[in-house]
Structure 1
Amino acid sequence: MSGPVRPVIGRDNAYFFEGTAKQELRIQSCNACGTLRHPPGPACLSCEAYDRGHVVAQGEGTVYSFTVVHAPKLPGKELPLVVALLDLPEGVRMVAEVTGVPPEGEDALRIGERLVVDWNVIDEELTLPIWRRCPEPVEGRP
């Protein structure tokens, strides 16, 4: 097998991967009550409606927790792999692969650190979100 393990795409999550193909980070929303939810599912946990939609997230998150995966070997991935649980400003948490950070040491990822989404284009059919540290602010700009 070459490349990463491919996600199973179905009715509940197709909108998410249609979004990643357009480099949009989408979060499932309930069209009946407006509740956001991730990971997606068939019915709203707040009002039990089956009327699903989505919103496009800002593409930023704050590290709530993280781990460094050393084993087992994962197809298409180089170990160690940094995986974070992010709080998104939209009010949901998302599991995220983090790139560009060492697994340990002074420059390792920290809880509370801000990350931004980027895109890992696997092939014509699959693009996955991958997260990076926020770029340093430019002097004179926020």
Structure 2
Amino acid sequence: MNRYDKPLPVIDAYTRGYWDHARAHRLSVQACTQCGHRHFPATPVCPQCLSEALSWEAVSGRGTLVSWATFHRAYWPAFRDDVPYHVCIVQLDDGPLVVGNFADNRLPDDVRMGMALRVEFEDVTPDISLARFVAA
């Protein structure tokens, strides 16, 4: 693990479950125990039924590329060496849309909307593992 100098997430009561799963290299989404609705990112109540009964469920980490963008400007100084970097929107097979990055800041060889992706994790600190996507 190299020194990671980019902004890190703030882990709080709402997001702790996600980061615990990520540290174990499992992608997870928040799920309502009342109506079963899965969503991401974390919310204090279910966006469908407004229940406060929420939990974190591991999902397969497989999905479909909906879109991506290439950033040519570093909005934080720590990203300067990564420009251009790529952000993707993935429709999970068993859950909601998630926003992420491609692994190793590389676009897959035949990148196209609708391509199958799967999650991998990058351990950036002893407590934080970040989800990254690669061609499935």
TM range (shorter): 0.7 to 0.9
Unaligned runs of 5+ in 1: 135-142
- Pick from 58, 66, 69: which aligns with 2:68? 66
Larger radius of gyration: 1
Q: How far off is 1:91 after superposition?
A: 3.2
- Mark the CA change 1:79 to 1:32 in structure 2 (over 3 Å): closer, same or farther: same
- Pick from 86, 90, 105: which aligns with 1:86? 90
Q: How far off is 1:102 after superposition?
A: 4.0
- Pick from 92, 99, 102: which aligns with 2:103? 99
Cα distance in 1 between the residues matched to 2:56 and 2:127: 21
Tell me, yes or no, if structure 1 residue 21 matches structure 2 residue 26: no
1:28 touches 1:40 (CA, 8 Å); kept in 2?
yes
Cα distance in 1 between the residues matched to 2:9 and 2:23: 14
Matched AA of 1:133: A
Following superposition, which runs of at least 4 residues in structure 1 exceed 4 angstroms of deviation? none
Partner of 2:47: 45
CA-based RMSD of the aligned residues comes to 2.0
TM-score by length of 1: 0.84
Deviations for 1:46-101, whole angstroms, at most 9, x for unmatched residues? 11110111211101111111100111254256121111100001130000101253
Partner of 1:12: 14
Partner of 2:36: 34
TM-score by length of 2: 0.87
Q: Which has the higher helix share?
A: 2
1:64 touches 1:112 (CA, 8 Å); kept in 2?
yes
Seq. identity, %: 22
Out of 12-21 and 69-78, give the one that drifted further. 69-78
Matched AA of 1:85: I
Partner of 2:123: 121
Whose relative contact order is higher, 1 or 2, with alpha carbons under 8 Å and at least 6 apart? 2
Q: How far off is 1:133 after superposition?
A: 1.1
